[in-house]
A and B are shown apart, each in its own frame.
Chain A
Amino acid sequence: GQQVMQIPQYQHVQEGEDFTTYCNSSTTLSNIQWYKQRPGGHPVFLIQLVKSGEVKKQKRLTFQFGEAKKNSSLHITATQTTDVGTYFCAGVDSGTYKYIFGTGTRLKVLA
Chain B
Amino acid sequence: DTGVSQNPRHKITKRGQNVTFRCDPISEHNRLYWYRQTLGQGPEFLTYFQNEAQLEKSRLLSDRFSAERPKGSFSTLEIQRTEQGDSAMYLCASSHGSYNEQFFGPGTRLTVL
**Residues in chain A within 8 A of chain B (CB atoms):** 4, 30-31, 33, 41-45, 48, 88, 90, 92, 97-104
Hey, which chain A residues are within 8 Å of B100, CB to CB?
48
**CB < 8 Å A-B pair total:** 48
- With contacts A97-B56, A98-B56, A99-B33 taken as known, whether A45 is within 8 angstroms of B42 at the C-beta atoms is no
**Residues in chain B within 8 A of chain A (CB atoms):** 33, 35, 40-45, 48, 56, 58, 91, 93, 99-107
Interface class of chain A by DSSP: strand
Hey, which chain A residues are within 8 Å of B107, CB to CB?
42
In the complex, the answer to whether A104 meets B56 with C-beta atoms within 8 Å is no
- With contacts A42-B106, A48-B101 taken as known, whether A98 is within 8 angstroms of B58 at the C-beta atoms is yes
Given the complex of chains A and B, what is the CA–CA distance between A101 and B101 in angstroms? 14
In the complex, the answer to whether B42 meets A88 with C-beta atoms within 8 Å is yes
Q: Which chain A residue shows the least CB distance to B48?
A: A99
Partner of A45 from B33, B44, B101 at Cβ < 8 Å:
B101
